[in-house]
Amino acid sequence: MMMREGQATAIHRQDYAPPAYWIDTVELTFDLDPAKTRVLNKMRLRRNPQVPAQALRLDGEELNLARVLVNGAGTSFKMDGGQLVLENLPEGDEPFELEIFTTCAPDKNTQLSGLYVSEGTFFTQCEAQGFRRITYFLDRPDVMATYSVLLRADKAAYPVLLSNGNLVESGELEDGRHFARWHDPHRKPSYLFALVAGKLVAREQKIKSRSGAEHLLQVWVRAGDLHKTEHAMNSLMASIAWDEARFGLPLDLERFMIVATSDFNMGAMENKGLNIFNTKYVLASPATATDTDFAHIESVVGHEYFHNWTGNRVTCRDWFQLSLKEGLTVFRDQEFSMDMAGSPSARAVKRIEDVRVLRTVQFPEDAGPQAHPVRPDSYVEINNFYTVTIYEKGAEVVRMQHNLVGREGFARGMKLYFERHDGQAVTCDDFAQAMADANPDSELARRLDQFKRWYSQAGTPRVRAEGSYDAQSQIYTLTLSQSCAPTPGQPDKQPFVIPVALGLLAPDGRALPLQLEGEPEAGATERTVVLAEARQSLRFVNVPEPPVPSLLRGFSAPVLLECDYSDEDLLLMLAHDGDAFNRWEAGQRLMLRAALRQLGADDSKPAGPLLPPALVEALRAVLNHPQLDPAFKDLVLTVPSETYIAEQLDEVDPQRIHALREAMRLELATALRGDWAAAWEAHRDTGAYRPDPLSAGRRALAGTALAMLCLAACQEGDPVWPGKAYQRFKDAGNMTDRFNALSALVVCGHELAQPALERFHALFRGDALVIDKWFALQASAPDRGGRALPAVRQLMQHPDFQLRNPNRARSVVFSYCNANPGGFHRADGAGYAFWAEQVLALDALNPQVAARLARSLDRWARLAEPYRAAARAAIERVAGHDGLSNDVREVVTRALG
Ligand code: ARG
Ligand code: ZN
C-alpha cells in the first residue's frame, strides 16, 4: 500500500488568490536512476509585489528532501501538510536564488503521475499536479517560468535524452554515462514540463512553414514500432498546416516531438514541444489498427498539437478554467477532423459521432451525482475533473459561440484572444469576452452575460417545441420553451442562450423558404433563431401547407429536444430532411419510440414486431439508397445504445433494456436479410487499404452487414454466414475487416468464435495494442446464461493480463463494467461486487485509473430493484474502505450524495 498524505478537503474557485511569489527561471539537473533519481532544482524567484508579504509554500509529494539553499547558503524551513515552507527569505523585491535537492523513486511510481518508468524508459506526466512529485515547486498553472534542463544517465540503458525546447549540447561523462542539456525559450507552467529517457528511435521529417522557417518533426517509439508511425507523422503535418491555414497559428518551435509510451493514464499530453502519447494514439499499421484507431490518432495528434496555442501559449489561470483549453481544443480537433474528412456528408458523419458521445456519456454525467458546470465551483481532486463535461460539453459551448458569430467572426475572436492574452494564464471569461468584443454586433455580444450561464450552470437544458398551423392565414407558429432540472448544489436554473438552427419541410419533403412575421420577403430555407427566454414564439408567414419543423439542425446546442412529432413526420424527415444530422436523428427517434413503447408495456413479451413495418421499410430504403454515404447508412441503421435508451427512463431495468435492444437488432437482421447480403457484397472489397472516411465507411457498413447476417443465421442454426465470417477473418487484408469478422462471430455466439479467438491471439501475441482488442472484445461479449463474469475472471488469469497497465486494465475491467450492460447488471449483484473489488485493487496502484472505474455506477440511484440495492451496497463497501485515495473517495462520496 502506498502512503496517503491525509484527506484533502475541497478547493473553491472563489478562493483563488494570485501567487505570493513568481518563479522566473528554473534549472533542473536530473541524475536518472530508476530506484533513486536525484533532482537538483535551482530557481530564481521574487516576491509578487501585488500580494502582502508571506511565507513561501512549495508543493511536494512523495519526495525525499536532502538540502535547501537560499542564495547559496543553508536556511531554516518547515514542513506543513506536504508543503515545504520557507519563512526567512530575503526582504524586498529583489530576485533570490533557491536550490532544492531531492530524490524520488520512479520505479515505484505506479500512479504514472510525475516521473515514472515504463518498459525501461523514463517518462513524465505533470498535468495536473505531477510536477510536485518531481521537485518542490509552486505547482499551479499561473506560475510561468523559463526552463533549462540537464539530463544525465547511463548511456547504454538510456541512449536518448529528451526534454522541452531545443537541444543545447550533449556529450559523454565518466562511467559510461552521458548528458544532454535542453533549453525551452517559451515560459511555461510546471504542468507542461516533460522529460523522456530511454531506448527509442524516431521517424523524422523536416518541414518549412509559410514564413519559410524550418522545423524538425520527430515521432519517437520503441525500435520495433517505427513502421507504425507514418500515420501519426502525416497527422502531425496535416495539423500544422491546418492551424496555419484556418487560424493563422504557426508552429513556434524549431523542434516538435511526439513520444509514445504503453503506460499512460489518459490519451496524450501536450507538454511544450515534447508531447507524450499513449501508444494507442500513435501506433498504427493497416494490419494492426482499425479505421477507428486511425481516426483517433488523427484527432488526438491534432488535439495535442492545437494545444500548443490553446493551452500552452495561452494557459489557464487555475484548474477551474480547465475547459478554457480543453473545450476549445476539442472544438478545434473536431473541426480539424471535419475539414480533413472533406465532403459535407463525411462532415455530418463526424458530427453525428461526436454528438453520440456527448449524449451517451456527457448527458448522463450531467444528470447524475457527478454533474458539474463546464467551469466547476469546487473540487477535491482535480484529476476527477478531466470529464466529458469539461471536454465535450466545453467544446459544444465553444461551438455555440462559433455559430452565434459565424466562421469569420470566430476567427476574428481567436485573433483578438491571442493579441490580448498571448503568454498569459487566463479564464473562461477572458475567452468569451474576446469573442464578443471581436463581434460587437453579434447575438453573443448582446447577450454575453446570459450566454456565460453555459459555463456556470450544470445540467442539460430541455427544450420543448410546439407548432400550430393556421391554414386561413398561412401562418405557422412555433413555440419554444426551456427548462433545466436541478443538479447537485444548483436547485434553480436561469434560462440559457440556445441557438436553434431550423428549417421547415413541406408535406412532400421540400424545404420551405423561411419568412418571419414583419420581414419583407422570404429568405433561405435554414436559419438560426436564438431562444433566450423561458418561452418564446416565432410566427412564420406565407407557409402554404402544414410544415414539419426540422429543429436543432446539426445539433446546434447541447440540449434535449422534445417535440410531438407523429411517426409520419419522422418518416418524412428520415427520407427528406436536407440536414443530414436530423435525418439520422429522425431514424433514432423512431427506433427509440419503438423501444420506449415496449418498455412501457406491462407485458415483457411483445405481441407483434417491435419495429413498425413502415420504419423497417424506411430503414431498408436508406440501406439500399443509391446516393447516401455508406458511413451514414451505418449510423442510421444502428439501434440507439442501451445507455441512451436508459437515459430516457426514470427507473431503469438494465436486463429488460438489454433484451429489448437485442430483440430489435435481431428483427432488423432478419427483416432486412436480403438487403444486408446485398450491402455486404457491394461494400466488402475496398481495395488497397487507405484510412480515408469514404473507404472506412464502406468497411463499416460491410462489417455491420456481416454481423447482422451472422446474428440472423445463428438464430436459425444456419452455418453459411458464420462460415463466411470465419473465412473473412482468416483472409482479411487489414485489421478493420479482420476484427469486424471476429467480432461478428463472438457477438452471435457461434462455435467458430473460439478457434478464431485462439488464432487471433497466436497471430498477434507480441502486439500489446492488438491484444488489448482481443481482451476487450471478450470482456464485452454478450452474456449467455451468466457466463460473462466468470469469463472476465478467467481473462484476468491469462498470462498476458496485468492490472497495473492502464490500457490492459481498461480492456478487461472497464470493458466489462462499462460496455457490457447485460453481463454487468446481474440480479445477484455479483457484477457490482466485482466492480468494488477492482476499484479497490486499482486504487492501491493507480488512483486516477481507479477513480475512472469508480464512475461506472454513477447512475445507480435510477436502477430498479434488485439492482439498486446491490449497487448501493457495492458503493458503500468501497466508501467504507480505509486508506482510499482522494480520487476514489471524492467519486464515491458524491455517488452516495
Ligand atoms: N491535457 C491532456 C489532454 O487533453 C490531458 C491530460 C490529463 N491528465 C491527467 N492526469 N489528468 O489532452
Ligand atoms: Zn486536451
Q: What is the pLDDT of residues 834-843, one digit of tens each?
A: 999 999 999 9
Q: How far is the CA of 127 from the centre of ligand 1 (A)?
A: 6
Rounded Cα distance between 112 and 130, Å, is 9
* Residue 224 in grid coordinates: 520495433
- pLDDT at residue 5 above 60? no
The DSSP code sequence of 4-63 is: P------EEGGG----SEEEEEEEEEEE--SS-EEEEEEEEEEE-TTS----EEEB-SS-
Encode pLDDT of 819-833 as tens digits. Answer: 999 999 999 999 999
Encode pLDDT of 522-556 as tens digits. Answer: 999 999 999 999 999 999 999 999 999 999 999 99
Rounded Cα distance between 783 and 272, Å, is 45
pLDDT of residue 224: 96
In this prediction, what percent of the chain has a pLDDT beyond 70? 99
Q: How far is the CA of 269 from the centre of ligand 1 (A)?
A: 6
- pLDDT at residue 420 above 70? yes
Q: Pick the ligand that lies closest to the CA of residue 269.
A: 1
Phi, psi of 566 (to 5 degrees): -80, 165
Q: Which residues contact 665 (CB under 8 A, 6 or more apart)?
A: 639, 708, 711
Encode pLDDT of 628-644 as tens digits. Answer: 999 999 999 999 999 99
Q: Pick the ligand that lies closest to the CA of residue 332.
A: 2
Tell me which of 193, 264, 269 to substitute to probe ligand 1's pocket, judged by most ligand atoms within 8 Å of the beta carbon: 269
Encode pLDDT of 122-136 as tens digits. Answer: 999 999 999 999 999
The mean pLDDT value of the chain amounts to 97
Q: Pick the ligand that lies closest to the CA of residue 382.
A: 1
Amino acid at 245: A
Encode pLDDT of 298-312 as tens digits. Answer: 999 999 999 999 999
Residue nearest to atom 10 of ligand 1 (CA): 127
Rounded Cα distance between 850 and 106, Å, is 20
Encode pLDDT of 779-803 as tens digits. Answer: 999 999 999 999 999 999 999 999 9
Q: Pick the ligand that lies closest to the CA of residue 394.
A: 2
pLDDT band per the 50, 70, 90 thresholds, residue 1: very low
Q: How far is the CA of 266 from the centre of ligand 1 (A)?
A: 6
Torsion, Cα of 189, 190, 196, 197 (10° steps): 130
Sheet holding 83-86: strands in order across?
Answer: 56-58, 83-86, 78-80
Tell me which of 111, 124, 308, 386 to substitute to probe ligand 1's pocket, judged by most ligand atoms within 8 Å of the beta carbon: 386
In 3D space, the residue among 407, 457, 402, 403 whose CA is nearest the CA of residue 431 turns out to be: 402
Range 360-363, long-range pairs (CB < 8 A, 24+ positions): 360/641, 360/643, 360/644, 360/647, 361/388, 361/392, 361/643, 362/388, 362/389, 362/392, 362/393, 362/558, 363/460, 363/560, 363/647
Q: How far is the CA of 175 from the centre of ligand 1 (A)?
A: 38
Residue nearest to atom 3 of ligand 1 (CA): 269
- pLDDT at residue 107 above 50? yes
Rounded Cα distance between 375 and 384, Å, is 13
pLDDT of residue 686: 76
Q: Which atom of ligand 1 is nearest to the CA of 329?
A: 4
Give the three-class secondary structure for 575.
Answer: helix
Q: Is the ipTM of this complex over 0.90?
A: yes
Q: What is the pTM of this model?
A: 0.98
Cα-trace Rg, the chain: 28
Q: How far is the CA of 254 from the centre of ligand 2 (A)?
A: 22
- pLDDT at residue 605 above 80? no
pLDDT band per the 50, 70, 90 thresholds, residue 3: very low
- pLDDT at residue 2 above 60? no
- pLDDT at residue 769 above 90? yes
Q: How many CB atoms lie within 10 A of CB 564?
A: 9
Q: Name the percent of the chain in helix, strand, coil, to the closest 5.
A: 45, 20, 35
Catalytic residues: 304
- pLDDT at residue 449 above 90? yes
Q: Which atom of ligand 1 is nearest to the CA of 130?
A: 10
Rounded Cα distance between 506 and 18, Å, is 59
pLDDT of residue 541: 98
Give the three-class secondary structure for 574.
Answer: helix
pLDDT of residue 602: 73
Tell me which of 266, 384, 846, 890 to substitute to probe ligand 1's pocket, judged by most ligand atoms within 8 Å of the beta carbon: 266
Spatial contact of 219 and 233, defined as CB atoms under 8 Å apart: yes
pLDDT band per the 50, 70, 90 thresholds, residue 209: confident
Residue nearest to atom 8 of ligand 1 (CA): 127
**DSSP secondary structure letter of residue 261:** E
In 3D space, the residue among 788, 876, 775 whose CA is nearest the CA of residue 825 turns out to be: 788
Residue nearest to atom 1 of ligand 1 (CA): 269
Phi-psi region of 807 (alpha: psi -120 to 50; beta: other; left: phi over 0): alpha
Q: How far is the CA of 230 from the centre of ligand 2 (A)?
A: 22
Pocket of ligand 1, beta carbon within 6 A: 125, 127-128, 265-270, 303-304, 326, 383, 386, 848
- pLDDT at residue 21 above 50? yes
Mean pLDDT within 12-24? 98
Q: Which atom of ligand 1 is nearest to the CA of 300?
A: 12
- pLDDT at residue 557 above 60? yes
Rounded Cα distance between 240 and 257, Å, is 13
pLDDT of residue 604: 66
